[in-house]
Structure 1
Amino acid sequence: MSKHILLTGGTGLIGRKLTEALLSKGYQVNHLSRSPGKHPGVSTFLWDVNKNQIDDKALNGVDTVIHLAGANVAEGRWSQKRKEEIIKSRTKSIALIYNTLKNRAHKVKTVISASGTGYYGDRADQLLPEDSAPGTDFLANVCLQWEHAVDAGESFGLRIAKLRTGVVLDANGGALVKIAGPVKWGVGAPLGSGKQWMPWIHEQDVIDMYVYAVDNDTISGDYNMVAPQPVTNKQLTQAIAKVLHRPLWLPAIPAFALELALGEMSAMVLNSTKVSAQKIEDAGFKFSYPTLVWALTGIYSPNQTFPGGSLKQT
């Protein structure tokens, strides 16, 4: 059955690729954006969350809302003003959509929202399924408020799915570019102790999991959007160096140096979060890139073959 999707954050790194995946399935896609759209296959409608303005025609015929909009947590130091912007960009945006639904007839049945594995905070070596207690730091607070705002859709009888995303491995942007850059120049090094767990996922599996959540009505509640084999920061750095054929000879960058340079933002690379993917696997989702070596080779050497066959092209 064809779907009609309203996507927030549709021009972001994930949003652009998710848009193409949805269109390739024959689904109709609308974007909500602050500026006119340029994609010929997408209907773009304007909104301004800060001014509480939205073109409600964006919801015409829509049955599924995918909520990716939110200020980049890694862009700029976390001043109090920046913290408020990060939270409000996520919570006020979905609230604006819900308030619009209250005041008009609609066909929306499902809301699928991004969240983050920052929900769990710094948890050392504890394996974290979805029912684990939340953390207490800023990132955990962002995720808590974000998910709480999304859960308000339950009062409309909507199916709500929240996907707690780990570090997305994508050659074109995000964390991988920042980690791999120094490695390519031969100056890469683990961060802090290097023992902290870093939940990761290949960008293709991110896209596929969103599409899976759209297509399967049984997907509701919280799901960790991470690969099934977690790694430490040191293991990730070493794997990148191995795939890129670069040496790692520098000592780890001390935690105190990162704290001095980044302030509270250092939690993004120093927190240890070992996250379980068991729930989404039990729900039937199949990862294209379940292991780190497959993911990195798929990004940097997609034509390489393994005993099991060729890697999936991304």
Structure 2
Amino acid sequence: MRVFITGGSGLIGRRLARRVLEKGGTPVVLSRHTDALRRDRSMRDFEFVQGDPTTLGRWREAVDGCDAVVNLVGHSVFGERWSGEVKRKIRDSRVYSTDNVVTAISAAKKRPSVLVQASAIGYYGPKDDEVLEESAPSGTDFLAVVCREWEDASAGVDALGVRRAVVRIGVVLAPGEGALKTMTPLFKLGPGVPVGGDGPFSPARGLQWMSWIHVDDVVGILEMALSNSNAVGPINGVAPNPVRNADFSRALSNVLWKPYAPWRVFLPIGPPNALLRLVLGEVASVVTKGQRVIPRRAAELGYAFQFPELAEALEDVFLPSGSASIAH
């Protein structure tokens, strides 16, 4: 199977490309920086196509003859404070790249049979304690609108007879990357504390829900979406057991300090939302609010999670193979 992957050098994309290769397929990775990627020993067995998915270009010709397309492109939500320009990049990078992928599929003489389209659980917007399955409606905040437009941009392949699966990805847990890249240094420096979930000026108790997933399970769900002909429409890419922020923070603190201090202190309150807003800007709302999302479709399709529980997922990230040490 030849799988064309946009965003193939990112946190999820390069792991998916490696999985495709291990299964005997050929990952075809689109990137603006192919020369640098070819020097990366972990990616030297991939095929690369030079190009920018947010603009039209000859890269689209590489889609012709591929069996599947996975579209993972999107400007980082947490990379910088949100300004009008940054919000435009967050939206346009997703919508324009998806528009161009659909155009490439449409123009292909031998079209791929499936498009696996990335999205995010931000689609639902903050919904307090409501349990959210794939049928739940979209929210109205900035990220919800972006996710809705992102998904809608991929709908053009439906009329082409191409199967479309949309994976709404939660908070991805991976060593030294993604959300944990930002959180780990903070939890090593001081006691664990909850973040957000209360009023703007009251101490945070972390009551909002976090829908998380181990990176290996994200890859597993994407792989299932590629191969399972029944994988159509939205699929929540989250673990089956979401937790409140306070419980996530306590579990993270415990696993980080497990080799050193089993008695590690966890404080039941954290900084008020107003302080986070001052430090992070508008993006703080993503941290202080949450969604209680469950992977109903993944379960119906028979996906078996490697890491259904948070504690074992964090231990795999920070204490691989039973290791008792962490770079301090």
Query: TM-score higher than 0.5 here?
Result: yes
Q: Which runs of 5+ in 2 are unaligned?
A: 197-203, 258-263, 324-328
The question of 1:70 aligning with 2:70 is answered no
Counterpart for residue 229 of structure 1: 241
The question of 1:252 aligning with 2:270 is answered yes
CA deviations 1:212-231 (Å, max 9, x no partner) are: 11111111100110000110
Please state how far the C-alpha of 1:107 moved relative to its aligned partner: 2.7
Equivalent of 2:213 in 193, 201, 208: 201
The 5-angstrom pairing of residues 1-314 of structure 1 reads: 3-36=1-34, 37-38=37-38, 39-192=43-196, 193=204, 194-245=206-257, 246-249=264-267, 251-304=269-322
SS in 2 for 1:235: helix
Please state how far the C-alpha of 1:50 moved relative to its aligned partner: 4.8
Q: Which letter does structure 1 place at the counterpart of 2:285?
A: A
Distance 1:157 1:301 in 2: 45
Distance 1:188 1:180 in 2: 10
Q: Which letter does structure 2 place at the counterpart of 1:216?
A: N
Distance 2:19 2:144 in 1: 30
Between stretches 125-134 and 245-254, larger displacement belongs to 245-254
Please state how far the C-alpha of 1:240 moved relative to its aligned partner: 0.9
CA deviations 1:254-298 (Å, max 9, x no partner) are: 111112222221121011200011221121000000001111111
Determine if contact 1:186/1:248 at 8 Å carries over to the other structure: no
SS in 1 for 2:321: coil
TM-score with structure 1 length normalisation?
0.92
Determine if contact 2:213/2:239 at 8 Å carries over to the other structure: yes
Distance 1:299 1:101 in 2: 37
Q: Percent identity?
A: 35
SS in 2 for 1:87: helix
Please state how far the C-alpha of 1:79 moved relative to its aligned partner: 1.3
Please state how far the C-alpha of 1:250 moved relative to its aligned partner: 7.6
CA RMSD of aligned residues (A): 1.6
Distance 1:51 1:8 in 2: 13
Q: Which runs of 5+ in 1 are unaligned?
A: 306-314
